[in-house]
Amino acid sequence: MSKLTGAEIVIQCLREQGVDTVFGYPGGAILNIYDALYQHQDEITHILTSHEQGASHAADGYARATGKVGVCLATSGPGATNLVTGIATAYMDSVPVVAITCNVTNSLLGKDSFQEIDITGVTMPITKYNFIVKDVNKLAKVIRRAFTIAQTGRPGPVLVDITKDVTGATCDYEYQAPEEIVRQSDTITEEAMDRAVEMIRKAQKPFIFVGGGAVIANASDELRAFAHKIQAPVADSLMGKGAFDGTDELYTGMVGMHGTKTSNFGITEADLLIVVGARFSDRVTGNASKFAKNAKILQLDVDPAEINKNIRVDASIIGDVKVILRKLNARLDPVNHDEWIAHIERMKDMYPLRYDKRLLTGPYIVQAIDEVTDEDTIIVTEVGQHQMWAAQYYNYRKPRTLLTSGGLGTMGYGLGAAIGAKMGCKDRTVINIAGDGCFRMNMNEIATAVRYNIPVVEVIVNNHVLGMVRQWQTLFYGKRYSQTVLNDAVDFVKLAEAMGAKAYRVTQKDDFIPVLKEAISLNIPVLIDCQVSCDDKVFPMVSPGAPIADAFDDTDLKIN
């Protein structure tokens, strides 16, 4: 046992948890921690981002790519509030992040002191739990609890706010091994298992819908075995990408607003929908009252709050989905649904994804990235049309290979997240696919990548508009393009070069693959500005509030 300052205890607790990288930005209230971090810079790498929001997204990307807890640091006041969007992003997508902020001293709390903010009050609705530490003797216990809470059950972000005087005070510290994180299985009842097995055995048209929970639970092997054992087609949500191999014969593509017609029509026709770690987002269900209207619904989820929250289900099993699938696989005999699978295959042939293959387009860019990269490549996206094309046209074969803001839809997420992912997976290619509107949000993180020579490739699908918003304006607002045109004089290539990165501009389809291959081979931060048409659309599409069975594409619009 040794006597340490609060700041030193923070660092030692991070070391206990196996933290090797943190992302942050210093300031007055957190100076003691940064001074302690200086003494341990050989053990914990600190990445100084250009903005605290970039730090929160980097911690998020690190966590999603590695499965470990991501850590970000910020000072009081605006430093702490700049983390809020990143914390909310992690909360919506169940990402284990620990955000450590520092506040003014105990004596100055509640007095509107310089750079004081009640960050625990601000973040209460968007954290799994949060703490304010006013006593150095409680500090180590709180940090350890934060890491445990972030990882247990359904993961999520936890914030620890520490007053500055606590970081300077001293107390006894003794090393403590991290608490073992156990998969939740005590809630899996025999009654629920029996009911599920009975439903699966009776089904003639089963369909599996996979969400992000299957990725978080590392349940890919069990999911693959389950799908083939019951011979059921598999669709995924945006967050579920990679949990089931996108090249598998049973895979039908994404479901929902921009899902494939095969997935949307198939789920509508199914007599049993098995939902694995998904929360029935409105972007998935469309008109909830008509979602899977012909099916009994069996939901598998670790979070009981998700059962019957958005969609009424006929049965559920609460627990870790990896454990649940393993138990189901042990109880089930192989089932034959050849006729149903043949029907799904015919739909795949009837309703393929289509785009103009003559031009440089968003779909082509994504398909080309898929062609050039291997299955271990990590694709990160911002939010908008390019995000949907990345979901539609890239074949994700492994979990944790698509990092994207699904729940909050955070423009500006991708570049910071790509930096975090690369720091966590240094031997893997990391590519961020961005729109020009999103790139403007946090493009200053190019400077971060250059400062540390973090070799991420930034591919901008540049249509000079806010593409997804403009698509809605085209289809639903009489082509009144209010504040969605970005056709100004900003030169992304010069911006990237000014920040020290290598940059290319691509205007012709045939030039993209050679440039991409060179960008990856350089192993430095690279930006590729791809000039595409502002009129390209994401299809298929389901109108807001319509049932997913009403999915339409450009051919339907021409007919009608």
pLDDT in tens, 526-556: 999 999 999 999 999 999 999 999 999 988 9
CB 222 within 8 A of CB 354: no
Q: What is the DSSP letter of 485?
A: B
Catalytic residue among 468, 471, 473, 492: 468
Catalytic residue status for 257: no
Q: What is the mean pLDDT of residues 362-386?
A: 98
Q: Look-up: residue for tokens 């996206």?
A: 381
pLDDT in tens, 483-513: 999 989 999 999 999 999 999 999 999 999 9
Closest CA to 262 of 553, 559, 468: 553
pLDDT in tens, 275-300: 999 999 999 999 999 999 999 999 99
Domain with CATH 3.40.50.970 in the chain: 2-173, 362-538
**pLDDT band at residue 385 using 50, 70 and 90 as cut-offs:** very high
Closest CA to 366 of 386, 383, 348, 380: 386
Catalytic residue status for 499: no
Catalytic residue status for 367: no
CATH class of 190-350: alpha beta
Catalytic residue among 68, 164, 422, 537: 164
> Distance between CA atoms of 506 and 462, rounded to whole angstroms?
10
Catalytic residue status for 226: no
Q: Name the fold adopted by 2-173.
A: Rossmann fold (3.40.50)
pLDDT in tens, 198-208: 999 999 999 99
Residue 429 backbone class (left: φ over 0; alpha: ψ -120 to 50; beta: rest)? beta
Catalytic residue among 8, 17, 23, 52: 52
Q: What is the mean pLDDT of residues 161-189?
A: 97
Domain with CATH 3.40.50.1220 in the chain: 190-350
Catalytic residue among 115, 229, 309, 531: 115
Catalytic residue status for 1: no
CB 36 within 8 A of CB 8: yes
362-538 — its CATH code?
3.40.50.970
**pLDDT band at residue 557 using 50, 70 and 90 as cut-offs:** confident
Q: What is the mean pLDDT of residues 423-427?
A: 98
Catalytic residue among 114, 202, 249, 426: 114
pLDDT in tens, 43-97: 999 999 999 999 999 999 999 999 999 999 999 999 999 999 999 999 999 999 9
